[in-house]
A and B are shown apart, each in its own frame.
Chain A
Amino acid sequence: MKILVPVKRVIDPYVNIRVKSDQTGVETENVKMSMNPFCEIAVEEAIRLKEAGKAEEIIAVSIGNQSCQETIRTALAMGADRGIHVLTEEKVEPISIAKILAKICESESPGLVISGKQAIDGDNNQTGQMLAALTDMPQGTFASKVEIDGDKVKVTREIDGGLQTVNLNMPAIITTDLRLNEPRYASLPNIMKAKKKPIDQKSPDDYGVDVTPRVSILKVIEPPKRQAGIKVENVGDLVEKLKNEAGVI
């Protein structure tokens, strides 16, 4: 079985986000970029399934500009076998990404697609579900546990208020939540080995997908700043203020 893992290049989660003064977006020039943390969890899960003998090959896909190759290399260094880079300078929306991935699913026929539940830049949380719709596959979103049993996959999902378990026919789409696993660091020998692994370069045109955005960003601003309040001396003070000043208890 093949596993397809889409990976996204985003601003590193530990970098402070700065909104551009012309309100067109956030500053990405000279900012450290990394693989989206939820995508790292997806790559890790695919590798664990391969190590458990449930999968033979892991294909990492990234869609975006030339530097997305680095993100694919990171996945290859972690343990993915080969990469597909769909080169475009356009800011591709989830619906178009899902369409490209659906085409790749047609040619590669993976048994599972494992993606992150959301990217920490746009916070859309859409691509996996959209891909599932376009390929008519079932979806196990926000997964905290994945168990393959024959031609089915049992997925434990993080839902509001607890956990839900579903059984999906394969091929299926899984999107990862935080608790699924803890991604490994790539070792130096594996980073070296990854340089020799193949990355196939494609364009959206190769898949016949029009990536023109349908949603335009009119304005991006900083959130209103909250003012720091006062320090209280002790618990008695705090309770008094909450009762009489704020009136919330």
Chain B
Amino acid sequence: MTSLFYIEHANGKVSDQSLKAITAASQIEGDVHGLIVGSNIDEAVAEASKINGLSKLLHLDDAAFDNVLAEKLTQVIFNIAGDYDYFLAAATTTGKNVMPRLAAKLDVSQISEIVAVESADTFIRTIYAGNAIATVQTSDAKKVLTVRPTAFKAATTDSAECEVAKINAENIPSISEFVGEELTKSDRPELTSAKTIISGGRGMQNGENFELLDKVAEKLGAAVGASRAAVDAGFVPNDYQVGQTGKVVAPELYIAVGISGAIQHLAGMKDSKIIVAINKDEEAPIFDVADYGLVADLFQVLPELEQAL
């Protein structure tokens, strides 16, 4: 049995999401090979070759892959698919975009966002926005899986360099082209890898008031998130969204401010180690999952909190 794990990277660094998800691959019997794709990626290749648990690293370094589109990347993996039994990637927007396309080309079902490996063919995943947990078994010979990163501990990158081999791009389709990318600029950590997150909900009343969260986040070195209600109301962009249809996070400390605690939101943060809820409605369901609840007006609490930190 050999698994192929697709490794994401940015700015010369292996993505934290990939390091977590690769731990799931290591729990499957057999070797784990990594695949890393991009243009001028020597730095990321060097780091990836030291990931614990990896026995071989394939890399494709080609200007055509400066931006990795699903149509092209799927073909790259498909070209070498004969050598592998398992195909895994983190359930990021890249993994979710690419892996089902690969599964269909291989004529297999995909198992999405696994949170645990039970055995060679049996995996655990959440369904219904985390309201139910399913144990599923696949009968497909080749198995395509995406992995929910928050469910696994990150692999370290301090092992001896593994075997590194270059692969080439062949039969790459040109039915899509990259136009541009607009990444939200922030000096603060990414939501999915932050140790502390402070999120605002509809109670924030408007987008400007998110500055109150920003100030506390600055003191805590935290990322700022939002509930779907706050996103739908137009307070902040969609990439702030924590919840089943947004980002699933599990930081050390999650502070929910003016968030009532809809099922959709809870599904995205209830695995956080410590949850703090600040809400003036003491009946809000968020208090049912909070370790520490503060029933108070957030517009008084946030400046006080900023001062106290």
Contacts and interface: CB of A to CB of B under 8 A. Distances in A.
A177 B112 CA distance: 18
Contacts of B128: 11, 17, 26, 120-121, 123
Contacts of A142: 93, 96-97
Contact of B231 (A125, A127, A178, A226): A178
A134 B305 contact: no
B196 interface: yes
A166 B181 CA distance: 9
Contact of A214 (B74, B138, B179): B138
A232 B287 CA distance: 11
B126 interface: yes
B288 interface: yes
A129 B244 CA distance: 19
Interface in A132-163: 132-134, 136-139, 141-142, 144, 154, 157-163
A124 interface: yes
Interface residues of B, number: 91
A242 B293 CA distance: 12
Nearest to A126: B100
A133 B254 CA distance: 39
Contacts of B231: 178-179
A178 B234 CA distance: 12
B295 A217 contact: no
Q: Chain A at the B interface: mostly helix, strand, loop or mixed? A: mixed
A8 B236 CA distance: 29
B140 interface: yes
A246 B291 contact: yes
B176 A130 contact: no
Contacts of A238: 276, 292, 294, 305
Contacts of A167: 176-179
B165 interface: no
B173 interface: yes
A154 B179 CA distance: 9
Contact of A220 (B96, B97, B134, B247): B134
* Interface of chain B: mostly helix, strand, loop or mixed: mixed
Given A95-B108, A130-B100, A166 B176 contact: yes
Contacts of B220: 249
Interface string B102-130: 11110111111100000000100011111
Contacts of B282: 231
Interface in A190-230: 213-223, 226, 228-230
Contacts of A223: 126, 130-133, 270
A214 B69 contact: no
Contact of B109 (A94, A125, A134, A219): A94
Contacts of B98: 129
A230 B309 contact: no
Contacts of B135: 217-220
Nearest to B98: A129
Contacts of B133: 220-223
B134 A217 contact: yes
Contacts of A94: 100, 109-110
A221 B131 CA distance: 9
Q: Give the top 8 A-B pairs by smallest Cβ distance, nearest first.
A: A130-B104, A129-B100, A229-B291, A133-B104, A162-B183, A126-B100, A17-B131, A138-B176
Given A142-B93, A215-B111, 11 more contacts: A121-B128, A123-B129, A126-B103, A141-B97, A158-B238, A159-B239, A162-B181, A165-B179, A177-B238, A228-B290, A238-B305
20 contacts: A17-B129, A95-B108, A122-B127, A129-B70, A129-B97, A129-B99, A138-B175, A139-B71, A163-B183, A165-B181, A165-B182, A220-B133, A229-B291, A230-B291, A231-B282, A231-B292, A235-B305, A246-B253, A246-B274, A249-B220
Interface of B: 17, 69-71, 74, 92-94, 96-105, 107-113, 122, 126-140, 173, 175-184, 190, 192, 196, 220, 228, 231-232, 237-239, 241, 244-245, 247, 252-253, 263-264, 270, 273-276, 282, 287-296, 301, 304-305, 308-309
